[in-house]
Amino acid sequence: MDAPFRYIADDGQREPRCNLAVDEALARAAGPEPALRFWRNDRCVILGRFQLAGAEVDLGAAHRLGVPVYRRFTGGGAVYHDAGNLNVSLVAPRDHPLVERRLGAGLQGLYGALLEPLAAAVRTLGIPAGAAPRGLFVGGRKLGGIAAWVGARSVLVHATLLIDADLVALERVLAGPGDPGNRRWQLTKSERTPVTSLARELDGSPAAGGGSPRRPDLRAAVDRAVLHAFMAAACGPTERRIEPGGLRSAERAVAADLLRNRYGEPAWHASG
């Protein structure tokens, strides 16, 4: 019988560099046991691995708003994070049945392992969300994005879900000037898409200040809905084999090394 999923709940850590190090550590130190992690960051922009900061981000606006810019180890586009944005990471061995089945349909199939339960969870809240190839949408408005890393022994897929994030700050800092004529920017540029949040869809709240939503229990309700939807999708309706757990000692050691030698280094985040 396959190892149960380890559920790593949001632990209250909000330092983006620490969280980015943990995410990569989970992928690098992955064992036979798959893991599902929920986490949130303080306000920041997270670039895809190969993106150009000056092209993707309005650096002047980011400076004025106190929004630092960091870089993750997966590809994909730039995203805005704050505590109103839920991040969900799935790590599993390459030979896990869920991964083998999904990878058979290519990278888009792997994305579906998270996007489909996220969409199902949002629909339980009364919002008609759908999973598209590169994100979660309500109509033409984006609720969340997706990125992945495929290693020799394991894979990591992580997604974002805008619950009651500061959409005004998001739109300001992600209004980068681009870099026409730069081939690297042409290959890595983010898709500019109108965004929304669960708070806005539920009660019209723009969460412009990034503070508490009108429904103060919304974040906890979303965490529960996403966990239940993933349990149903990944484990089946009767055999719900997800067990709470924390980071293993090996994962903590890899995360500490990554924080020291990569995510704690300004040169990593400024590269390119």
What six digits make up the tokens of 44? 């920041």
Q: Which residue has the higher pLDDT, 211 or 14?
A: 14
pLDDT in tens, 11-22: 999 999 999 999
Task: Tell me how far the alpha carbon of residue 219 is from its chain's centroid.
Answer: 15
State the amino acid at position 28 in one-letter form: R
Phi-psi region of 236 (alpha: psi -120 to 50; beta: other; left: phi over 0): left
pLDDT in tens, 135-161: 999 999 999 999 999 999 999 999 999
How buried is 252 (Cβ within 10 angstroms: 0-12 exposed, 13-18 middle, 19+ buried)? middle
State if pTM tops 0.85: yes
Determine the structural domain holding residue 159 and report its residue range: 5-270
- The total of structural domains in the chain comes to 1
Q: For residue 253, what is the DSSP state?
A: H
pLDDT at 171 over 80: yes
pLDDT at 119 over 50: yes
pLDDT at 84 over 70: yes
How buried is 125 (Cβ within 10 angstroms: 0-12 exposed, 13-18 middle, 19+ buried)? middle
Q: How far is CA 262 from CA 75, 89, 116, 200, in A?
A: 16, 20, 32, 36
Beta strands, E only, the chain: 5-8, 35-39, 44-47, 69-71, 79-81, 85-93, 130-132, 135-138, 141-150, 154-162, 242-244
pLDDT in tens, 175-193: 999 999 999 999 999 999 9
Neighbour order of strands in the sheet with 79-81: 69-71, 44-47, 79-81
Q: Residue written as tokens 């960051």?
A: 41
What six digits make up the tokens of 53? 């900061």
Q: What is the CATH number of the domain that holds 20?
A: 3.30.930.10
Asked if 7 and 240 touch (Cβ cutoff 8 Å), the reply is no
- Separation between Cα atoms, residue 78 and residue 49, nearest integer Å: 9
Q: What is the pLDDT of residue 266?
A: 96
End-to-end CA distance of the chain: 45
Q: What is the pLDDT of residue 91?
A: 95
